[in-house]
Amino acid sequence: MASHSEHNVDIHDENNYDPTVWVPKTTSHGTKDLWKKFWVLLALTIADVVAYFTWPPSIARNMFFIFMGVAKAWYIVGTFMHMKYEHRKLGYMIILPMVLIMFFLYWMMYEGNFWGTYK
């Protein structure tokens, strides 16, 4: 096999290409979109940390953390696992149980506050 150092090879030439070195032309490898996702998740995480250190412990704070966790999970599943391109009914099949789980978590925390208050 001939050495590639003997002549100048254009690795992006789509008409006269050498299959051992050819690389398809792209304008972006998706890094701009990836950085956008990074900044969104960073903002949500910073909001979590700020709320943790500024809000007093309460059911509202707990519900905020549960909501933020679900929001981050929804964003990650929608963007990195490409769920936003699926059918709406499939998305509803995933979101509806999550809403019910959040409701039951709130209900358990609310009922847990009354533990031992009635004698």
Q: Would you kindly state where each structural domain of the chain is located, as residue ranges?
A: 28-112
pLDDT of residue 32: 81
Tell which wins on pLDDT, 41 or 91. 41
Report in angstroms the alpha-carbon separations of 114 from 57, 58, 77, 107: 16, 14, 36, 11
- What pTM value is reported for the model? 0.56
Render pLDDT for 23-50 as a digit per residue (tens, 0 to 9): 666 666 667 888 898 999 999 999 999 9
Collect contacts of 88-94 with beta carbons under 8 A, ≥24 apart: none
